[in-house]
Amino acid sequence: MFQEAAQFLLQVVFELAAVAFWLRFYMQLTRVPFQNPFAQFIVKVTNWAVKPARRLIPGLFGLDLASLMFFILTELVWVLASHLVAGFPFLAAGMAVWPGFLLLTLAAGLKLIIYLTIALIVVQAIISWVNPFSPVAPVFYALSRPALAPFQRIIPPISGIDLSPLAAFVVLQLILILPIGGLERLAHHLIVGLP
């Protein structure tokens, strides 16, 4: 019972931090305007780590590499901490398990990005129906646009209703099940030697 509670708390803390770091990186990647409350919130909750790190890790081609590094580092610490709480024998396992943990970190990061993309699409759809002139509407439009644009080119609106979010959900779920699920299985096999 204590182990489950500890894992839940660790997951909440680390995944929220990872979401903030990813959003900061992704907002800069998608050229989201930072003069809005949502973007300012993300900047303020990540400045404590990103600003000092930028002295050592400068941006490259307009990419915020410091935020990306903290996203990956947060996912790695979450993966290791969850296994530590579960009683994984790190000392007995030795260095042979590290490729598995790195693959598991990659899978966890990709899974979080997919879930976050789904959430951004849902929020964007709700805002577009409820209050399309909200100050945060351009932010969520810009963040969901890369995932929706390929489907919007293929699927025309029917009676003014955009069906591209449904198609995006199906494809994103398939990505979670097939390549990311396979990556997780491979990582677990490398860590514990189970099929």
Residue with tokens 């000092």: 52
Whether residue 133 has pLDDT greater than 90: no
pLDDT attached to residue 195:
45
DSSP, collapsed to helix, strand or coil, labels residue 131 as: coil
Q: Phi then psi for 60, rounded to 5 degrees?
A: -140, 125
* Average pLDDT, integer, range 76-80: 96
Give Cα 157 distance to the centre of its chain: 29
Q: What is the pLDDT of residues 93-107, one digit of tens each?
A: 888 899 999 999 999
Whether residue 12 has pLDDT greater than 80: yes
Q: What is the pLDDT of residues 134-181, one digit of tens each?
A: 888 889 999 999 999 999 999 988 887 888 999 999 999 999 999 999
Residue with tokens 């509407």: 137
Whether residue 54 has pLDDT greater than 50: yes
pTM of the complete model: 0.92
The amino acid sitting at 153 is R
Q: What is the pLDDT of residues 66-77, one digit of tens each?
A: 999 999 999 999
